[in-house]
Amino acid sequence: MKKLLFISIALFFFVPFSFSQSPVNVVVIGAHPDDADGDAGGTAIKFSKMGHNVLFVSLTNGDAGHHEKGGGALAKIRRAEAQEAGNRFGVKYIVLENHDGELLPTLENRKEVIRLIRQWNADVVISHRPNDYHPDHRNTSILVQDAAYMVIVPNVVTDTPPLKKNPVFLYAQDRFQKPYPFQPDITVDITDVYDQKIYGMAAHESQFFEWLPWTSGRLDEVPETENERLEWLAGLRKPRITEEMRQSLEKWYGVEKAKNVKVAESFEICEYGRRPSDDEIKKLFPMLGE
Protein backbone atom coordinates (compact mmCIF):
# COMPACT_ATOMS: atom_id res chain seq x y z
CA MET A 1 0.00 0.00 0.00
CA LYS A 2 3.00 2.33 -0.31
CA LYS A 3 1.50 3.87 -3.44
CA LEU A 4 -1.39 5.20 -1.38
CA LEU A 5 0.84 8.02 -0.17
CA PHE A 6 1.14 9.34 -3.68
CA ILE A 7 -2.23 8.41 -5.10
CA SER A 8 -3.92 11.78 -4.62
CA ILE A 9 -1.38 13.24 -7.03
CA ALA A 10 -1.04 10.35 -9.45
CA LEU A 11 -4.75 10.02 -10.12
CA PHE A 12 -4.89 13.31 -11.92
CA PHE A 13 -2.22 12.41 -14.45
CA PHE A 14 -4.24 10.08 -16.65
CA VAL A 15 -2.46 9.80 -20.01
CA PRO A 16 -4.81 8.33 -22.63
CA PHE A 17 -3.42 5.59 -24.80
CA SER A 18 -3.72 6.02 -28.53
CA PHE A 19 -6.16 3.67 -30.23
CA SER A 20 -7.61 3.36 -33.70
CA GLN A 21 -11.18 2.48 -32.77
CA SER A 22 -13.80 4.96 -31.62
CA PRO A 23 -13.99 5.57 -27.87
CA VAL A 24 -16.08 3.05 -25.95
CA ASN A 25 -18.98 4.58 -24.01
CA VAL A 26 -19.67 2.81 -20.72
CA VAL A 27 -22.50 3.40 -18.24
CA VAL A 28 -22.38 1.85 -14.76
CA ILE A 29 -25.79 2.14 -13.07
CA GLY A 30 -26.02 1.55 -9.34
CA ALA A 31 -28.78 2.05 -6.82
CA HIS A 32 -26.76 4.26 -4.46
CA PRO A 33 -23.95 6.84 -4.69
CA ASP A 34 -21.17 4.34 -4.08
CA ASP A 35 -22.41 1.17 -5.82
CA ALA A 36 -20.84 1.82 -9.22
CA ASP A 37 -17.50 2.50 -7.54
CA GLY A 38 -17.29 -0.87 -5.84
CA ASP A 39 -18.80 -2.85 -8.70
CA ALA A 40 -16.67 -1.54 -11.57
CA GLY A 41 -14.32 1.13 -10.24
CA GLY A 42 -11.09 -0.53 -11.32
CA THR A 43 -12.41 -1.28 -14.79
CA ALA A 44 -13.65 2.31 -15.05
CA ILE A 45 -10.18 3.64 -14.24
CA LYS A 46 -8.69 1.47 -16.98
CA PHE A 47 -11.27 2.69 -19.51
CA SER A 48 -10.64 6.29 -18.50
CA LYS A 49 -6.85 5.95 -18.76
CA MET A 50 -7.27 4.62 -22.28
CA GLY A 51 -9.34 7.62 -23.32
CA HIS A 52 -12.77 6.00 -23.23
CA ASN A 53 -15.89 7.53 -21.69
CA VAL A 54 -17.42 6.29 -18.44
CA LEU A 55 -20.57 7.48 -16.70
CA PHE A 56 -21.47 6.42 -13.15
CA VAL A 57 -25.17 6.74 -12.26
CA SER A 58 -26.87 6.43 -8.88
CA LEU A 59 -30.63 5.99 -9.22
CA THR A 60 -31.22 7.17 -5.64
CA ASN A 61 -29.79 10.10 -3.70
CA GLY A 62 -28.72 7.94 -0.75
CA ASP A 63 -30.73 9.95 1.78
CA ALA A 64 -31.38 6.96 4.09
CA GLY A 65 -27.92 5.43 4.27
CA HIS A 66 -26.64 6.57 7.64
CA HIS A 67 -27.19 5.93 11.37
CA GLU A 68 -27.00 9.57 12.46
CA LYS A 69 -27.78 11.71 9.40
CA GLY A 70 -30.66 11.58 6.94
CA GLY A 71 -32.95 13.33 4.51
CA GLY A 72 -31.88 16.30 2.44
CA ALA A 73 -28.76 16.96 4.52
CA LEU A 74 -27.47 13.43 3.91
CA ALA A 75 -28.41 13.56 0.23
CA LYS A 76 -26.31 16.73 -0.13
CA ILE A 77 -23.34 15.04 1.52
CA ARG A 78 -23.63 11.95 -0.66
CA ARG A 79 -23.95 13.97 -3.85
CA ALA A 80 -20.75 15.87 -2.98
CA GLU A 81 -18.99 12.59 -2.17
CA ALA A 82 -20.06 11.16 -5.53
CA GLN A 83 -18.71 14.17 -7.40
CA GLU A 84 -15.37 13.86 -5.63
CA ALA A 85 -15.32 10.14 -6.36
CA GLY A 86 -15.99 10.88 -10.03
CA ASN A 87 -12.99 13.19 -10.09
CA ARG A 88 -10.81 10.51 -8.53
CA PHE A 89 -11.99 7.79 -10.93
CA GLY A 90 -11.84 10.03 -13.99
CA VAL A 91 -15.55 9.53 -14.77
CA LYS A 92 -18.71 11.61 -14.88
CA TYR A 93 -21.03 10.93 -11.91
CA ILE A 94 -24.81 11.53 -11.92
CA VAL A 95 -27.01 11.16 -8.82
CA LEU A 96 -30.78 11.12 -9.33
CA GLU A 97 -33.32 12.35 -6.76
CA ASN A 98 -35.20 9.14 -5.98
CA HIS A 99 -35.33 8.41 -2.24
CA ASP A 100 -33.00 5.78 -0.84
CA GLY A 101 -34.90 2.63 0.12
CA GLU A 102 -37.94 3.60 -1.96
CA LEU A 103 -36.84 2.93 -5.55
CA LEU A 104 -39.47 1.18 -7.65
CA PRO A 105 -39.36 -0.10 -11.25
CA THR A 106 -41.96 2.40 -12.46
CA LEU A 107 -42.51 3.40 -16.07
CA GLU A 108 -41.26 6.90 -15.26
CA ASN A 109 -38.00 5.56 -13.83
CA ARG A 110 -37.58 3.18 -16.75
CA LYS A 111 -37.90 6.09 -19.17
CA GLU A 112 -35.25 8.00 -17.26
CA VAL A 113 -32.86 5.03 -17.48
CA ILE A 114 -33.55 4.73 -21.21
CA ARG A 115 -32.78 8.44 -21.66
CA LEU A 116 -29.50 8.19 -19.74
CA ILE A 117 -28.31 5.20 -21.76
CA ARG A 118 -29.25 6.87 -25.03
CA GLN A 119 -27.74 10.23 -24.13
CA TRP A 120 -24.43 8.56 -23.31
CA ASN A 121 -24.64 6.58 -26.59
CA ALA A 122 -23.70 3.55 -24.53
CA ASP A 123 -21.82 0.58 -25.90
CA VAL A 124 -21.68 -1.16 -22.52
CA VAL A 125 -24.12 -0.94 -19.58
CA ILE A 126 -23.22 -2.47 -16.20
CA SER A 127 -25.60 -2.87 -13.27
CA HIS A 128 -26.71 -5.12 -10.40
CA ARG A 129 -28.08 -8.62 -10.82
CA PRO A 130 -31.80 -8.98 -10.00
CA ASN A 131 -31.20 -11.31 -7.02
CA ASP A 132 -29.75 -9.16 -4.25
CA TYR A 133 -30.27 -8.38 -0.58
CA HIS A 134 -31.26 -4.74 -1.12
CA PRO A 135 -34.61 -3.82 -2.74
CA ASP A 136 -33.03 -0.78 -4.40
CA HIS A 137 -30.41 -3.04 -6.01
CA ARG A 138 -33.06 -5.48 -7.23
CA ASN A 139 -35.25 -2.72 -8.62
CA THR A 140 -32.29 -1.01 -10.27
CA SER A 141 -31.55 -4.28 -12.03
CA ILE A 142 -35.17 -4.60 -13.17
CA LEU A 143 -35.14 -1.03 -14.50
CA VAL A 144 -31.94 -1.61 -16.45
CA GLN A 145 -33.16 -4.97 -17.78
CA ASP A 146 -36.43 -3.37 -18.86
CA ALA A 147 -34.45 -0.65 -20.66
CA ALA A 148 -32.43 -3.25 -22.55
CA TYR A 149 -33.79 -3.55 -26.08
CA MET A 150 -36.15 -0.60 -25.49
CA VAL A 151 -33.19 1.75 -25.96
CA ILE A 152 -33.31 0.98 -29.70
CA VAL A 153 -37.11 1.29 -30.11
CA PRO A 154 -37.91 4.67 -31.78
CA ASN A 155 -41.49 4.92 -30.49
CA VAL A 156 -40.41 4.58 -26.85
CA VAL A 157 -39.24 7.77 -25.07
CA THR A 158 -39.57 9.77 -28.25
CA ASP A 159 -37.94 12.88 -26.75
CA THR A 160 -34.52 11.19 -26.95
CA PRO A 161 -33.22 9.59 -30.19
CA PRO A 162 -32.90 5.79 -29.99
CA LEU A 163 -29.58 4.00 -30.17
CA LYS A 164 -28.69 2.48 -33.52
CA LYS A 165 -27.33 -0.65 -31.88
CA ASN A 166 -28.28 -2.33 -28.62
CA PRO A 167 -25.51 -2.10 -26.00
CA VAL A 168 -23.98 -5.07 -24.26
CA PHE A 169 -25.66 -5.25 -20.84
CA LEU A 170 -23.62 -6.74 -18.03
CA TYR A 171 -24.19 -7.70 -14.40
CA ALA A 172 -21.59 -6.81 -11.79
CA GLN A 173 -20.30 -9.55 -9.54
CA ASP A 174 -22.04 -10.47 -6.29
CA ARG A 175 -21.92 -13.31 -3.78
CA PHE A 176 -25.55 -14.48 -3.96
CA GLN A 177 -26.20 -18.11 -4.90
CA LYS A 178 -29.95 -18.34 -5.45
CA PRO A 179 -31.58 -18.82 -7.88
CA TYR A 180 -28.13 -19.21 -9.51
CA PRO A 181 -24.60 -17.99 -8.74
CA PHE A 182 -22.82 -15.24 -10.61
CA GLN A 183 -21.07 -16.31 -13.83
CA PRO A 184 -17.82 -14.45 -14.69
CA ASP A 185 -18.04 -14.11 -18.47
CA ILE A 186 -15.61 -11.16 -18.56
CA THR A 187 -12.89 -10.66 -15.96
CA VAL A 188 -10.63 -7.61 -15.89
CA ASP A 189 -7.26 -7.51 -14.15
CA ILE A 190 -7.27 -4.41 -11.91
CA THR A 191 -4.19 -5.26 -9.88
CA ASP A 192 -2.28 -2.18 -11.05
CA VAL A 193 -5.15 0.23 -10.33
CA TYR A 194 -6.55 -1.29 -7.14
CA ASP A 195 -5.03 1.40 -4.93
CA GLN A 196 -6.60 4.03 -7.18
CA LYS A 197 -9.95 2.29 -6.93
CA ILE A 198 -9.76 2.34 -3.14
CA TYR A 199 -8.83 6.03 -3.18
CA GLY A 200 -11.89 6.71 -5.35
CA MET A 201 -14.18 4.71 -3.10
CA ALA A 202 -12.81 6.49 -0.03
CA ALA A 203 -14.39 9.72 -1.28
CA HIS A 204 -17.66 8.25 0.06
CA GLU A 205 -16.58 8.90 3.64
CA SER A 206 -20.09 8.74 5.07
CA GLN A 207 -20.42 5.21 3.75
CA PHE A 208 -17.10 3.40 4.00
CA PHE A 209 -15.92 4.97 7.24
CA GLU A 210 -19.22 5.61 9.03
CA TRP A 211 -22.42 3.89 7.87
CA LEU A 212 -21.17 0.53 6.61
CA PRO A 213 -18.81 -0.04 9.57
CA TRP A 214 -21.73 0.84 11.86
CA THR A 215 -24.03 -1.72 10.19
CA SER A 216 -21.39 -4.43 10.59
CA GLY A 217 -20.48 -3.51 14.16
CA ARG A 218 -16.97 -2.40 13.19
CA LEU A 219 -17.20 1.35 13.66
CA ASP A 220 -14.62 1.25 16.45
CA GLU A 221 -12.11 -0.32 14.04
CA VAL A 222 -12.04 2.62 11.61
CA PRO A 223 -8.58 4.26 11.71
CA GLU A 224 -8.08 7.99 12.16
CA THR A 225 -5.56 8.96 9.48
CA GLU A 226 -6.22 8.97 5.74
CA ASN A 227 -3.50 6.51 4.80
CA GLU A 228 -4.51 4.10 7.55
CA ARG A 229 -8.12 4.33 6.41
CA LEU A 230 -7.14 3.61 2.80
CA GLU A 231 -5.14 0.58 3.84
CA TRP A 232 -7.96 -0.62 6.10
CA LEU A 233 -10.55 -0.21 3.33
CA ALA A 234 -8.32 -1.95 0.80
CA GLY A 235 -8.05 -4.96 3.08
CA LEU A 236 -11.79 -5.15 3.62
CA ARG A 237 -12.80 -4.70 -0.01
CA LYS A 238 -10.20 -6.84 -1.77
CA PRO A 239 -12.20 -9.52 -3.58
CA ARG A 240 -11.22 -13.16 -3.63
CA ILE A 241 -10.41 -14.55 -7.06
CA THR A 242 -12.55 -17.66 -7.40
CA GLU A 243 -11.70 -20.65 -9.53
CA GLU A 244 -14.33 -19.52 -12.05
CA MET A 245 -12.74 -16.05 -12.18
CA ARG A 246 -9.31 -17.62 -12.65
CA GLN A 247 -10.60 -19.59 -15.63
CA SER A 248 -12.07 -16.42 -17.08
CA LEU A 249 -8.76 -14.58 -16.59
CA GLU A 250 -6.94 -17.39 -18.38
CA LYS A 251 -9.35 -17.09 -21.29
CA TRP A 252 -8.83 -13.34 -21.72
CA TYR A 253 -5.18 -12.94 -20.64
CA GLY A 254 -3.63 -16.34 -21.12
CA VAL A 255 -2.47 -18.76 -18.46
CA GLU A 256 0.86 -17.10 -17.66
CA LYS A 257 -0.50 -13.55 -17.29
CA ALA A 258 -3.47 -14.83 -15.31
CA LYS A 259 -1.10 -16.25 -12.69
CA ASN A 260 0.05 -12.73 -11.79
CA VAL A 261 -3.42 -11.24 -11.29
CA LYS A 262 -4.00 -10.30 -7.65
CA VAL A 263 -7.24 -8.32 -7.92
CA ALA A 264 -9.95 -8.51 -10.59
CA GLU A 265 -13.49 -7.41 -11.42
CA SER A 266 -15.88 -9.76 -13.19
CA PHE A 267 -19.03 -9.22 -15.22
CA GLU A 268 -21.79 -11.51 -16.43
CA ILE A 269 -23.46 -10.99 -19.80
CA CYS A 270 -27.18 -10.24 -19.56
CA GLU A 271 -29.15 -12.12 -22.19
CA TYR A 272 -31.49 -9.17 -22.77
CA GLY A 273 -28.88 -6.99 -24.47
CA ARG A 274 -26.57 -7.68 -27.39
CA ARG A 275 -24.86 -11.06 -27.26
CA PRO A 276 -21.26 -10.19 -28.15
CA SER A 277 -18.71 -12.51 -29.70
CA ASP A 278 -15.32 -12.89 -28.05
CA ASP A 279 -13.80 -10.63 -30.69
CA GLU A 280 -16.37 -7.93 -29.94
CA ILE A 281 -15.72 -8.24 -26.21
CA LYS A 282 -12.02 -7.65 -26.86
CA LYS A 283 -12.89 -4.47 -28.75
CA LEU A 284 -15.28 -3.28 -26.05
CA PHE A 285 -12.78 -4.14 -23.29
CA PRO A 286 -9.45 -3.23 -24.92
CA MET A 287 -7.58 -3.71 -21.64
CA LEU A 288 -8.15 -7.48 -21.83
CA GLY A 289 -4.97 -9.35 -22.56
CA GLU A 290 -2.70 -6.37 -21.87
Q: Rounded CA gap, 202 and 235, in Å?
A: 13
Q: Which of 170, 191, 227 is closest to 30 using CA atoms?
A: 170
In a domain, 289, yes or no: no
pLDDT tens-digit series, residues 128-182 = 999 999 999 999 999 999 999 999 999 999 999 999 999 999 999 999 999 999 9
Averaged pLDDT, 73-79: 98
CA proximity to 203, closest of 41, 43, 49: 41
pLDDT given at position 239: 82
In a domain, 18, yes or no: no
- pLDDT confidence of residue 21: 67
Burial readout 110-143 (b: 16 or more C-beta within 10 A, e: otherwise): bbbbbebbbebbbbbbbbbbbbbeeebbbbbbbb
Q: What confidence tens digit (pLDDT) does each residue in 104-136 have?
A: 999 999 999 999 999 999 999 999 999 999 999
pLDDT of 17 higher than 80? no
Q: CA-based Rg of the chain, rounded to a whole angstrom?
A: 18
Cα–Cα dist 140/133, whole Å: 12
Is position 17 within any domain? no
Decide which of 20 and 152 is more confident: 152
CA 237 to chain centre: 14
Q: Is residue 264 part of a domain?
A: yes
Residue 288 within any structural domain of the chain = no
For 168-179, what is the HEC assignment?
A: EEEEECCCCCCC
Q: In this structure, is residue 59 part of a structural domain? A: yes
Enclosing domain of residue 72: 2-12+23-283
Domains of the chain: total = 1
Question: What pLDDT score does 123 carry?
Answer: 98
pLDDT tens-digit series, residues 248-289:
999 999 999 999 999 999 999 999 999 999 999 999 999 997
Evaluate if residue 18 carries a pLDDT over 80: no
pLDDT at 289: 77
Model pLDDT for residues 232-250, shown as the tens digit of each residue: 999 999 888 999 999 999 9
Question: Looking at residues 224-229, what average pLDDT do you find?
Answer: 96
Residue 111 lies in a domain: yes
C-alpha–C-alpha distance, residues 260 and 235, integer Å: 19
In this prediction, residues 214-229 reach a mean pLDDT of: 96
Residue 120, domain CATH: 3.40.50.10320
